[in-house]
Structure 1
Amino acid sequence: MKKRKVILIAVLIFVLFLVLPLIFNKKGPRHFTTPSLSDIDYSEVFFTNDTDNLKLAGMLMIPKGDGPFPTVVIIQGSGPSFRDNGWNLAIVKYLQDNGIAVLIPDKRGSEKSEGEWIGASFDELANDAIAGTEFIKSQDQFEYSYIGIVGMSQGGWIAPVAENKSADVSFIASLSGATVNAYEQLLHEEIHNISKYTYPFIAKMIAPITTNRLQKMEYLSSYADFDPIPYLKKVDVPVHFAFGEGDKYIPVRACIERLEEYGLNDFKTSVYPNGGHALIDIESSTVSKKCMNDLVTFIKGIEN
């Protein structure tokens, strides 16, 4: 009887050990205030990626006043794209309100763009961005001064690929885009995902296994071996990296150290306190105004 009691107590302690992370890691969603699509002054546009023979669509935001305007082509993050994505809208509205024109293409296979994003290589997605720059050059709705690329999240990986292929890109800005390779990025993300349900030291033991399996999935396999450094080393235009402290999707410190390791010290890097992946300012519950001001200053400071 005494032995059974000891076993029962041991089992209860073990169960409590397993359950504690679920209790203390439980956090509510972070409140994030963003504009809606109805708050954005835009026109729907259509253009063609001639390289891959795809018809693409998107939204063009032109600032008020007379041009010429600095112009950015947005490369969106992983997965499909949606025009009402709040993070995208918060950023493009700030740019438009501060005298910067923006083209945000629908990702291939999303909204009104042809094609399929699943299985698309970064080279192919870069071609879509280049098609956007070609559209800006040919359109007659406004006069532009120069064109750059703003890569958001995964788009930060694709931006240097596009720059390497086009002489029309005058700058790159990467918002929460990684500089580590695909495995390191996914491993970091997996550790944080698993840590919601167990202890960090256990998550670090499990994550390499799940990461290897994830890399074999169709939507990840096309870039499972990607490393941005070879492309970044070929970039010959100004580059600005914006990171959010505490990002659960990319290892911020490792990203900065990797730039330093490869001597890419001319690139501007900024880390915003408690910003996370969405670069949120906790007090205002929206995209960090400091981050956006820095982005605007960087874009307008480009000399052509």
Structure 2
Amino acid sequence: MKTINKLTFFKNSISIKQFCRNFILILFLFNTINQVFAIPPNFTTKNIKFLSEEDSLAGTIFKPDHPTAAVVIIHGSGQEKRMTEFATLLAENGIAVFTYDKRGVGESGGTYAGPEVGTNNVDAQNLNLLSLDASAAVNVLSKNLSNNKIAIGLIGGSQAGWIIPLAAEKNKKVKFMAIFSGALITVKEQLRFQFYTNGNTNFWDTHTEEDARKHTMTDPDKYEFIDTNPTDTLSKLSIPGLWIYGGKDIQVPVNLSIENLNALKSKGKHYEYKLFPALGHNTAFSKDEEPMKDVIKWTKNIKIPKSK
């Protein structure tokens, strides 16, 4: 009986040792396979600190091996850090990117302005300041591109629709702009529309374009500040631009914005737009990938008009 128990113990010991050896071998093979089949990123990243209006801002440059275009990402209205996922997507598609923490956010100095901290972030002074940050970021990206023939543009959504034209007017290095859900009306008009829709996702099921437009143009303003009209700036620019809109947007009056865009196009401006009737304000990162694909394709194939 004792002999049988010893033999059984000996066999069990061999089985455990064999299992451990096999397990270690499997782990080794698994790690080896991962290393063989892992695809390294086709871009490099570089953290950068730069000055804008005497404040130190921080961001990251994403540089593909052979970029076809380059962009600086401009923030919306919130307290936004550098947009690394967006930058990665663009870089994977051969577009060099500079994305930075908004002033007063993350590693960037300066003071953030916005309703979260009890201040107005849409008055002309703050929009102009943010456009100066964008212009400084363009200079940083330009210096870090090995090929000076690569066109640099600005890309962003929502509030960026006011900031991008201001930055493009300030910096002649900006050769194009791509804007998701940017209002082509004054800031005050946009706020009237937004207050009227009041976050109601079913707004367009119960309201007409005529009704919404009436309130956008005539409702009393809740706040007083120096206004910004993007069409004033866009009428001075000669660079191409692409706007992406969602037909169910309840933050931006899309039809009114498109009318103003068409008026600029009729004057010879190189402006385009694409409307996605089923989408809302978040056209960039909705479940529908087509808006982003369209912008990436347009950016990679941008034709820069020759300066007159």
TM-score by length of 2: 0.70
Q: 2:234 — aligned with what?
A: 232
Q: 2:58 — aligned with what?
A: 57
Q: 2:257 — aligned with what?
A: 255
User: Could you list the runs of 5+ residues in structure 1 that have no partner in the other structure?
Assistant: 1-39
Percentage of matched positions with identical amino acids: 30
Q: 2:33 — aligned with what?
A: none
Alignment CA distance shift 1:58-1:254 (3 Å): same
Q: 2:19 — aligned with what?
A: none
Counterpart of 1:229 in 2: which secondary structure?
helix
Alignment CA distance shift 1:298-1:127 (3 Å): same
RMSD (CA atoms): 3.1
Say which of 125, 128, 137 aligns to 1:132.
137
Alignment CA distance shift 1:253-1:227 (3 Å): same
Q: 2:71 — aligned with what?
A: 72
Counterpart of 2:221 in 1: which secondary structure?
helix
1:230 positional shift? 0.8
1:237 positional shift? 0.8
In the alignment, structure 1 residue 94 sits paired with structure 2 residue 89: yes
Take 1:259 and 1:266, find their aligned partners in 2: how far apart are those partners? 10
| Residues 251-288 of structure 1 deviation map (CA, whole Å, 9 limit, x = unaligned) | 1111001122343563111012322111168xxx53x3
Take 2:195 and 2:174, find their aligned partners in 1: how far apart are those partners? 34
1:240 positional shift? 0.6
| Residues 114-141 of structure 1 deviation map (CA, whole Å, 9 limit, x = unaligned) | 112315522211110111111112236x
Take 1:301 and 1:231, find their aligned partners in 2: how far apart are those partners? 25
Alignment CA distance shift 1:72-1:211 (3 Å): farther
The answer to whether the Cα contact below 8 Å between 1:59 and 1:104 also exists between their aligned partners in 2 is yes
In the alignment, structure 1 residue 47 sits paired with structure 2 residue 50: yes
Q: 1:212 — aligned with what?
A: 221
Counterpart of 1:275 in 2: which secondary structure?
coil
1:211 positional shift? 6.1
Q: How many residues align?
A: 244
In the alignment, structure 1 residue 269 sits paired with structure 2 residue 264: no
TM-score by length of 1: 0.70
Take 2:132 and 2:235, find their aligned partners in 1: how far apart are those partners? 20
Take 1:151 and 1:45, find their aligned partners in 2: how far apart are those partners? 20
Alignment CA distance shift 1:168-1:194 (3 Å): closer
Take 1:45 and 1:90, find their aligned partners in 2: how far apart are those partners? 17
Take 2:260 and 2:158, find their aligned partners in 1: how far apart are those partners? 17
The structure having more radius of gyration, on CA atoms, is 2
Alignment CA distance shift 1:121-1:251 (3 Å): same
User: Could you list the runs of 5+ residues in structure 2 that have no partner in the other structure?
Assistant: 1-42, 114-120
